[in-house]
Amino acid sequence: MSKRDDVVELGGNPIKTLYGWGFRSEHAYLAAFVSLGLVFLSWVVSRIKHDERDQSDRWGLFIGEWVAVLLALGVALKHEE
C-alpha cells in the first residue's frame, strides 16, 4: 500500500474511519441519549441559578443540537456495520 492509499483510506470517509477505530452505532445512540439528559440538566441548573430564561434556553438549544448529530452519526454507522 502506497503512502497515497493510506491518506485516501483514512481521510476519504470519516464514517469508515470511526468504524475502524471501534466506534459503533450503539455508542452514538448512547451519547445522543446522554446529551438529551444534559439538555434537561443544563436547563434546570440554569433556572435554579435564577438566570434569565433566554440564557437557559440558549444552553438547552446548543446542547440539543448534539442529539440530532449523534443520532445521524448512529444511523450512518449502522449502515457501515
The answer to the question of residue 14 being in a domain is no
The answer to the question of residue 11 being in a domain is no
On the 0-12 / 13-18 / 19+ scale of CB atoms within 10 A, 70 is buried
The answer to the question of residue 2 being in a domain is no
The answer to the question of residue 18 being in a domain is no
pLDDT digits (tens, 9 = 90+) for 47-56: 777 666 666 6
Number of domains forming the structure of the chain: 1
pLDDT digits (tens, 9 = 90+) for 21-69: 888 999 999 999 999 898 888 877 777 776 666 666 777 778 888 899 9
User: What is the pTM assigned to this prediction?
Assistant: 0.70
The answer to the question of residue 39 being in a domain is yes
By residue range, what is the domain housing residue 72? 23-80
The answer to the question of residue 44 being in a domain is yes
Contact between 26 and 75 under an 8 Å Cβ cutoff? The reply is: no
